[in-house]
């Protein structure tokens, strides 16, 4: 009887190798991806149409999903979403780590330079994509 209690007592709690915040983050990402992929299947009228759209999304095939913009814009969108999710994660779970409102001048100006570089890399500075040009 004592041997059984020792065996069960040693195996009672599993060891944590991944932090709770990391698990919450990845569970949120996986839930969003599953919901987004299933939304394609519920929206389409047939499974073959849903598979065609899913294939077009994952292979970055130009056509109805990427009209007028090269597929590199999709990667820009992913970059922006990743930045937003990361900032939200740090604000929610690690409020002591700040990039823009940091008390150290070097860290704060590094944050400014990163934001400026992102704007310069992604921005469109000619009049071709101005949203209100038709009005």
Per-domain residue ranges of the chain: 17-96, 98-135
The residue with greater pLDDT, 19 or 49, is: 49
Q: For residues 102 and 109, give the distance between their C-alpha atoms in angstroms, rounded to a whole number.
A: 9
Give one word for 130, left, alpha or beta, with left for phi > 0 and alpha for psi -120 to 50. beta
Six token digits for residue 67: 């009209």
Q: pTM for the full model?
A: 0.43
Q: For residues 97 and 25, give the distance between their C-alpha atoms in angstroms, rounded to a whole number.
A: 17
DSSP one-letter string for 57-125: HHHT--SSTTTTS-THHHHHHHHHHHHHHHHHHHHHH-TT--SSS-SSHHHHHHHHHHHHHHHHHH---
For residue 84, pLDDT beyond 70: yes
The residue with greater pLDDT, 111 or 27, is: 27
Query: Averaging pLDDT over each range in 20-24, 46-50, 91-95, 100-104, which range is the top one?
Result: 46-50
């Amino acid at each position: 009887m004592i041997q059984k209690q020792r065996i069960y007592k040693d195996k009672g709690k599993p060891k944590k190798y991944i932090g709770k915040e990391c698990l919450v983050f990845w569970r949120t990402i996986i839930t969003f991806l599953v919901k987004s992929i299933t939304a394609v299947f519920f929206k389409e009228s047939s499974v073959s149409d849903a598979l065609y759209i899913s294939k077009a999304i994952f292979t970055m095939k130009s056509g109805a999903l990427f009209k007028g913009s090269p597929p590199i814009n999709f990667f820009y969108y992913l970059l922006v979403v990743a930045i937003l999710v990361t900032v939200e994660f740090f604000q929610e779970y690690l409020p002591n780590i700040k990039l823009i409102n940091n008390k150290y001048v070097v860290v704060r100006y590094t944050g400014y330079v990163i934001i400026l570089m992102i704007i310069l890399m992604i921005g469109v500075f000619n009049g071709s994509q101005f949203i209100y040009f038709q009005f």
